[in-house]
Structure 1
Amino acid sequence: MKNSIIKLGLASTVLLGSAAGLVHPAEAHAATQAMTPYYQWKGYTGYSASYVLDKNFVNAVKYGNVTINGMKVDAKAVVTEADLLNSVKAEKMFEKNKTASKYVATQFDTFALKTGKGAVYFMEIPVQQNKVSMKEVTKAYGKASEVLYGSNKGQTETAYTVTAKNGVHTTFYFDNKNMLTKIQFMN
């Protein structure tokens, strides 16, 4: 009797041990898969600037994986000449009467342009004024792929662009005091 209990115990241990061994590697594999950094924001961006230097936002920008108010720039969207022309017309109409259309989307203070197929290829968000400097942005995001200087409504403006791994371009706009005013995402 004692021998059969020991044999039963050994058999149970071997059976349970091997069954657990079959299940365990799959769980370990799932837990170690890499995940692309992403960032989601819902609400007004113009009343805050904290997200701009948040490490999760910075990493998501580097991967072109930022969703603002349910909208995200599609890095693979094909933008036709007709899309551009229709977007320009729609944007002018939007500026007049604030009405969204097939080519213009707005949510809170986020503005986006879309292709005729509905893919977002341009998005602009305001940033709380006088909170984030160009020095802070360059430190957080690293070397720019492009820096442009210009004038907008009589004010000097600097545009600092970084290009994500998936090709989405994120441009930070700074006023004449080198303070961030808005961010644009485009494919």
Structure 2
Amino acid sequence: LLFMDDDSGEITVLSGGNFHGEPLAIAMDYLAIALAEMGNISERRTMRLTDEASNAGVLPAFLTEKGGLNSGFMITQYTAAALATENKVLAHPASVDTIPTSANVEDHVSMGATAALKARQILDNVEHILAIELLAAAQGIDFRRRALGIDARLGAGTTPAYDLIRQHAPFIEEDTLLYPYIDAVHALVTSGELVRVVTDTVGDRPAVTR
């Protein structure tokens, strides 16, 4: 039980044997749903980057100049779609289920641990979906710069993000194993380094171009 002092704001916590994990389970279920939606949106952006019909031909199909000979980013979009689909299954709320335990003493179980484990798996999937989108976006930037024939300026936040990604993953000319680059960018996402280089540059200032 938690008791808050209205004047000081201090919280007193009294632990007892009448615990129930339902509040935490519901919070984890909501988190899982929100994360799954983030993954859905990221995957759709990757799809638009790789589908020339969706991006009005601004970028080549599957982000490769040698379509037919090379798959480009086709399989990475498959991977993002597969992870997003897995998330939709995992996002089913665990807290709506229960199974009595302890000879029916614990007659309503919160399923909080299950909810937390599912949310953790969805988070890992979304981090990989975002890594795939970032790789595709960097590839798209390079194609646009080639098409424009200039070193087109990027936004103040996009510039350090792009530069950091390119330190770990090159422009993909021909088909190669992409998972090492996905893993490298995934590490940038999970470590917070990608966010750090952007916020160090932009901070709270309005975005400008260099």
State the TM-score, normalizing by the size of structure 1.
0.23
Work out which structure has the larger RCO, using CA pairs closer than 8 Å and 6 or more positions apart in sequence: 2
The structure whose Rg is larger is 1
State the TM-score, normalizing by the size of structure 2.
0.21
Looking at secondary structure, tell me which structure has more helix per residue. Answer: 2
